[in-house]
Amino acid sequence: MQSNKKRIRVDYAPLNVAVSIQCTTPTRPALQVFNSRNVQSQYEPDREVNPSQFWPEVIANAADGSWHNQYANMLLTEMHWYVNDVEISQHPDWQGNNGAGDAKYEIDTSSTNYRGAITIRQNVSPDKQYSLRFEGVIADTRMGTLIPIKTDAIILSTEDVSEDGFSISIGEDQIIQYNPFKDKLHLYEYKVAHGKITASAAAESAATDENAYKRTIPVQVYKGGEVITTGFTVKLYRVDGASTFTELTAAANKEVLSISNTAIVLDLRLITKQDFLVRAVLSDSNHPNPQLQFSVNRVYQDYNLEPTNGASILPGDTQRYDEVMCASDGNVVEEPENIIKIDWYTDTVNKSHLYHNEGQKTIFMIEKTGIGKTYNDSWMEIQAEGEIKPAHDVAIDSNGDIFVDENGNTLIFN
């Protein structure tokens, strides 16, 4: 007699999605300059000659490593770009062709990682500005679900520099990515904190590279194309919505290490995904304050865990020791428990998926596992399960008071 069938599925971790708009043509950004004194081209850049392109970068990952393509753009459906909250094809300013006879915009529908990108061939007059954002849907084929995505807006605008105008730039990509697997500074500090190496100024300096969590973002302010260093104050804001911002300071916001007129320093360990706006507040000018938006995204990469103790259990053994080896991107990951929450389990005939402890290393009592003494039950399977740790957060007690060390430094954890 055959029993009824029962279908079960793989229990996948939820898909984490981060999306933001990236300018793929950095010499042709969202901000244009209008210069009536230039007889050859009053718009700089002139999008009718050299168009701008903006890409809704969709980054996806799952904590269990079951999602293998970091970029999910090729899975986009129901793609829509909106101008001032109106679908772009319905906005009267964006219908038809530009002065050169070309379509004012084009949306990439190819099956590539640049699917959804919009190419803009329309110049924006100085008296107008447009809020541009993207919406779409991606399919999580593992779980059979649809995930709607929506970017924050960027502003298409033009500054009239017929007279000296002001602008601002940062010495970084407008999309800053932080990958904890590549952070040598965090690894160095972890080793020092656990007594595995001695602190060294030279080693710390060598570990502070472009992948380090301590990220210095240079800021430059221009007047009429010339760099200025006075007459303004640089301020940093968190973008909460299309037109909603919260000012950030080093004193009140722990992800902000410092703000000056020449640089902003952020602690990327405390950020999962956040959009920022940097603004130069002019001291004495009728010109609008120049500003620029950028984002920070925390990204992950796939990894593998492998227990390393392959020795048999001897009849007199009472304890079992093991240590996990972690590999990622073709390299061995040093101190993986710094990045990954590693849990140890065993299976025997009598006890299935028995939890023991957490960490890169494990030691447990063999008797606890339920292993038997006959040929049929004297076996044990051991496994390590990992989950990438989230972004750090400030440590507080039940009253909301912040924990600090003996030197008064704020403690963070993940």
Find out whether 358 and 344 touch, Cβ atoms under 8 Å. Answer: yes
Q: Is 144 left (phi over 0), alpha (psi -120 to 50) or beta?
A: left
Residue 26 has what pLDDT? 85
This prediction's pTM: 0.64
Mean per-residue pLDDT for 91-98?
94
* Contact between 233 and 280 (Cβ < 8 Å): yes
**d(C-alpha 411, C-alpha 349), whole Å:** 44
pLDDT in tens, 38-56: 555 688 889 999 999 999 9
Using pLDDT thresholds of 50, 70 and 90, give the confidence band for residue 309. Answer: very high
Judge whether residue 88 has pLDDT over 80.
Answer: yes
**Minimal CA–CA distance to 50: which of 130, 108, 123, 127?**
123
Predicted local distance difference test score (pLDDT) of residue 10: 58
Inform me whether the pLDDT recorded for 1 exceeds 50: no
Tally: H helices and E strands in the chain? 2, 30
> What percent of the chain has a predicted confidence (pLDDT) above 70?
94
Query: Region 322-336: what's the mean pLDDT?
Result: 94
Q: What is the mean pLDDT of residues 193-221?
A: 94
On whether the CB atoms of residues 388 and 63 are closer than 8 A, the answer is: yes
* Residue, of 7 and 69, whose pLDDT is higher: 69
124 pLDDT tier (thresholds 50, 70, 90): very high
Mean pLDDT of the chain: 89
Distance CA 123, CA 120 (A): 8
How many angstroms separate the CA atoms of 392 and 178, rounded?
Answer: 13
Measure Cα distances from 278 to 174, 234, 235, 259, 339 in Å.
11, 7, 6, 10, 30
Query: What pLDDT is recorded for position 3?
Result: 47
Query: Over the stretch 3-20, which tens digit does the pLDDT of each residue have?
Result: 455 555 556 777 888 899
Cβ of 175: how many Cβ atoms within 10 Å?
Answer: 18
Report the pLDDT value the prediction gives residue 257, as an integer from 0 to 100: 94
Q: How confident is the model at residue 393 (pLDDT cuts 50, 70, 90)?
A: confident
Among candidates 135, 163, 171, 151, which has minimal Cα distance to 292? 171
Nearest to 53 by CA among 45, 62, 61, 64: 45
Residue 227, both tokens:
């760099």
What average pLDDT does this structure show over 275-279? 94
Structure confidence at residue 296 as a pLDDT band (50, 70, 90): very high
Query: What does the pLDDT average to over 268-297?
Result: 90
Task: Centre a 10 Å sphere on the Cβ of residue 128 and count the other Cβ atoms it contains.
Answer: 11
The radius of gyration of the chain from alpha carbons, rounded to an integer in Å, stands at 27
The larger pLDDT score, comparing residue 93 to residue 223, is at 93
Q: Cβ(328)–Cβ(304) under 8 Å?
A: yes
Highest mean pLDDT among 160-174, 191-205, 391-405: 191-205
Strand partners of residue 228 = 221
Contact between 400 and 364 under an 8 Å Cβ cutoff? The reply is no
Task: List CB contacts of 369: < 8 A, sequence separation 6 or more.
Answer: 346, 348, 351, 354, 380
Beta bridge partners of 71: 59
Tell me 269's DSSP state.
Answer: G
Range in 154-168, 268-282, 346-360 with the lowest mean pLDDT: 154-168
Beta-carbon contacts of residue 151 (< 8 Å; ≥ 6 apart): 19, 20, 21, 56, 133, 134, 135
Question: How far is residue 339's CA from residue 324's CA, in Å, rounded to a whole number?
Answer: 14
Is the pLDDT score of 244 beyond 60? yes
* Strand 31-34, strand 43-44: pairing: antiparallel
The winner for highest mean pLDDT among 61-65, 152-156, 396-400 is 152-156
